[in-house]
Amino acid sequence: MTAFDFADVEAFLDSHPDLFEEYLVRRAKCDQVSRWLKEHQSSKVSTSEERRAAAKEPLWPSSAEGLRRRSSHMELRRNFARSKATTAHRTYDEHVSLSEHESQSSMRRRALLRKASSLPPTTAHILSALLESRVNVPQYASSAIDYKYRLKETNEREFFLELVKDISNELDLTNLSYKILINVCILVDADRCSLFLVEGPAHKKTLVSKFFDVHSGTTVRPSSSTLNSNEVQVPWGKGIIGYVAEHGETVNISNAYEDHRFSDEIDKLTGYKTQTILCMAICNSDGEVIGVVQAINKNPMGTPFTEDDEKVLQMYLPFCGISIFNAKLFSESRKEYERSRALLEVVNDLFEEQTDLEKIVRKIMQRALTLLQCERCSVLLLEDIDSPVVKFSKTFELMSPLCNMDRDISMEKLSCSDWLINNSIAELVASTGLPVNISDVCQDPRFDAEADQASGFHIRSVLCVPIWNRTHQIIGVAQILNRLDRKTFDDADQRLFEAFVIFCGLGINNTMMYNQVKKTWAKQSVALDMLSYHATCSKVEVDRLKAAKIPLSSELGIDEFHFNDFSLDNDAMITASLRMFLELGVVQKFKIDYEVLCRWLLTVRKNYRTVAYHNWRHAFNVSQCMFVMITTATFQDVLSDAEILALMVGCLCHDLDHRGTNNAFQAKTGSALALLYGTSATLEHHHFNHAVMILQSEGHNIFANLSSKEYSNMMQLLKQAILSTDLTLHFERRTKFFEHVLSGEFSWAAEEHREVLRSMLMTACDLGAVTRPWEVAELVTSEFFEQGDRERSELKLTPAAIFDRNRKDELPALQLEWIDGICKPLYQALLKLNRKLQPMVDGIDGNRVKWQGLCMSYQQTRRASESSQSTDLGRNTDSSEDTETFELPKKAEKTSQVKNAEFGSKSDCREVLRFRANKEACNDKAASDDSKTSSGKK
């Protein structure tokens, strides 16, 4: 035998690469290829070659002539060699030593730690690295199709074992399905093959195929991006596929078009003609149908499938059933791992952010959209968790970025959604505490189809579950809509969502508790501030007042509409207040202890700050105005005793602890009051709470002898009276009041009408200074000027005209707008209701004439100053004249302007703004804009 030198053999193989490659394919072993890859590190090259091969040979046909036929032998061998090289290093090798395996694990852990340390040092990044799965799915490359065909021809036993081994260790359902189809095509010589798997619950099964009409010569598995787009669904029991799945029988058809169960729609779409069909069920170990395989057109074309084909397929499909069951089981375990990981990340998110409710709800919705792959998520929080009436106070919504919408809708956080639809389902869940899972909303009577159409967002399925706090109380509901894959929410989704919402409920509850702590801190801060400033009256003061002689109303002059409060000092105003209570008879009717009443009045006076206007004198003026309207105007005949007492107490307490600044200033500065009560009627809520605090102090409860029901009703009336002094509420109610009065529909018997009337009476008394003699009505707005000075110095803002002392010469024009737009319409409406209020309207008219005169004088002076601006001397003279013309009395500088100098309450007080818009725009647009937001009563 001739001896060959190794160099000669190597040179021969180098010159015949095709021969060497074919030999390598037939003889090489996996461990040999694995060692070669480790030495040459060719995995990157192999991967790039595989990608190029995938790009060159697509799975789906590009024309109607059908898919590409069997590839050449050389191409198949090369594909096989490349697949071996690509997957060999990922295959578990039993010969690898345990120490080597441990070293690889430690290397992986070090890589994860390096990954975590390279990111910002946040708990989210560390948690993500630690939770990364350590499980690798074993991947085994299939033998070349040409090799399988050769085995089939030479050794049927080895061929069958090769097909079984090909699918036995495959745990990826996509790869497994692809391998089954290729093997079935080879097994029965079919031109094409399809695999349908059973999905859905037992009562609504569906057959789904992600690989439809796969050709036997296909060598490249489709990418994951094409799987969902090419998914085919067949209803249970419909067509040949559905019949086989339902009955578990084998169907062998020699002419498909002669069978009534066959549908030619696919043939029309693809241009491919189906002739023969072999369809058979795939069962699991329990005999339950889990899939259906369909072989089409046995080769050569036109040949029917034989009984031998049926037998060999019956032998092979049980192995397919076992592999499919294992792959599904592995897939479910991976899903459970991912869901558990997502829940841990949710917990991390919730504990990272517990200070802002909006932020934490936004995180919850983002996690829900990602976790459950749905189009839209809503979170609705209850207003009162203890109330039997379901009412949502806050609503948050978020749309998935993967959801295709015909219109551009920004779904950032909406505190009160304008297009939240079908609240009935959310209310049902909040009231019953039971989850609702609707797979088809069109078939559910609880769903509002009209609201669905009006919203422009089509709902297919709904999953809504309650949100519980740590004491197992429902605090809201979470709702998700429409899975992105257009399937319905199944039991696994519901269980996951309920588990997810448990953590969300804890996070929301903690955040709400944090906000309560913040409010408690703010309340404490306000209380300490009040206690440091206020104190109750002394016993000496109480005894002196109790022993004092109380003059009659006529002696004090408090029974007149044109009462001038400058005739009384602080002590006289206390005795006058006592006289009003005695005159109205409420002391006897409600059994008010006289000493308690004296102590309460003195403490109320002491709890008014020494600000320029909103002080004790203003509170007394308002109560005197209410007294004269009740007595002289005979409202006493229509109001109940409880209403009269509540109105009088409300007048005396309506500005308790006023700081000399309005609501807008509290909001701008972010004061403790704004944090405690919010930005709506901030000071009014504070005045009421302060009044309650005085009543609850020892020896100050003038309502002590009322029954529990009477006391509750009295406190409700008192709260309504004090809060109605907010002009925002006045503008909301006055239109309806005017309509009722002018139309003659006002009814004293209707509680709603009486409540509105009480609010109008409180506002009329609060603004009553505009009806008083000119000596009171012309007072300067020194308190407002002080606020304007603070806005300019502390907030660096330009104050509105009513608060700007540099523009006080505009006061007459502002007063005319205030009288015509706010005050006079109110008093005219009350006059129509009660003709005895005519003196108040007359007082307004008299004051308006004087303000009109001042305004005309201002205009004349302004025209004169403009004409004299040609010279420097004239300009200086003009400045001097301006100052002298509108210098108001010193008496006015020492006191304050009454409510007739105020106008507006919020930016939405359109009635006021309509009168001011033109003039403010001409004078100073910036000042006008600020006036719209910051001017007002409070």
Residues 6+ apart with CB under 8 A from 461: 438, 439, 440, 441, 481, 482, 483, 488, 489
Look up residue 382 and give its amino acid. Answer: L
Strand-pair partners of 253: 277
Q: What b/e string do you get for 445-463 counting C-beta neighbours within 10 Å, with b at 16 or more? A: eebbeeebeeeebebbbbb
Identify the residue whose tokens are 């690295």: 129
- How many beta carbons lie within 10 A of that of residue 901, not counting itself? 23
Query: In angstroms, rounded to a whole number, what is the distance separating the alpha carbons of residues 361 and 503?
Result: 12
Cα–Cα distance, 114 to 128 (Å, whole number): 13
Hey, how many other C-beta atoms are within 10 angstroms of the C-beta on 18? 10
What residue type is 816 in one-letter code? L
Candidates 53, 54, 57, 50; CA nearest to 85 is 50
- ∠ CA 376-380-384, nearest 5°, is 175
Q: What is the largest CA-CA distance in the chain?
A: 149
Q: Are 244 and 292 in contact (CB under 8 A)?
A: yes
Q: What stretches of 194-264 show up as alpha helix (H) in DSSP?
A: 239-247
Rg over CA atoms, the chain:
43
| Residue 393, both tokens | 């106070």
Cα dihedral sign for 208, 213, 217, 221? Answer: negative
Which among 215, 614, 654, 700 is annotated as catalytic? 614
Hey, is 155 helix, strand or coil? coil
Sign of CA dihedral 921, 926, 927, 933: positive
Residue 670 backbone phi and psi in degrees, to 5:
60, 45
Nearest to 422, CA basis, from 460, 466, 384? 460
Rounded to the nearest 10°, the torsion over CA 722, 724, 725, 728 is 140
Q: Which long-range contacts (CB under 8 A, 24 or more apart) does 410-414 make?
A: 411/376, 413/358, 413/361, 413/362
CB atoms inside a 10 Å sphere around CB 894 = 11
Centroid of chain to Cα 569: 56
Strands (E), 12-127: none
β partners of residue 843: none
Which secondary-structure segment (H or E) carries 417? none
DSSP structural state of residue 405? -
For 686, the token pair is 């504070």
Q: How far apart are CA 500 and CA 131, in angstroms?
A: 18
DSSP assignment of 801-833, as one string? GGG-GGGGGGHHHHHHHHIIIIIHHHHHHHHHH
> For the chain, first and last CA: distance in Å?
116
Question: Is there a catalytic annotation at residue 215?
Answer: no
296 forms beta bridges with 192, 277
Rounded to the nearest 5 degrees, what angle is found at the Cα of 194, between the Cα atoms of 317 and 236? 85
Q: Which long-range CB contacts under 8 A does 701-705 form with residues at least 24 apart? A: 701/596, 702/590, 702/592, 702/593, 702/596, 702/597, 702/600, 702/649, 703/590, 704/593, 704/596, 705/590, 705/591, 705/592, 705/593
**Helix, strand, or coil (residue 102):** helix
Please report which helix (H) or strand (E) contains residue 278, including its range.
strand 277-283
SS3 44: helix
Cα 865 from chain centre? 58
Tell me the catalytic residues: 614
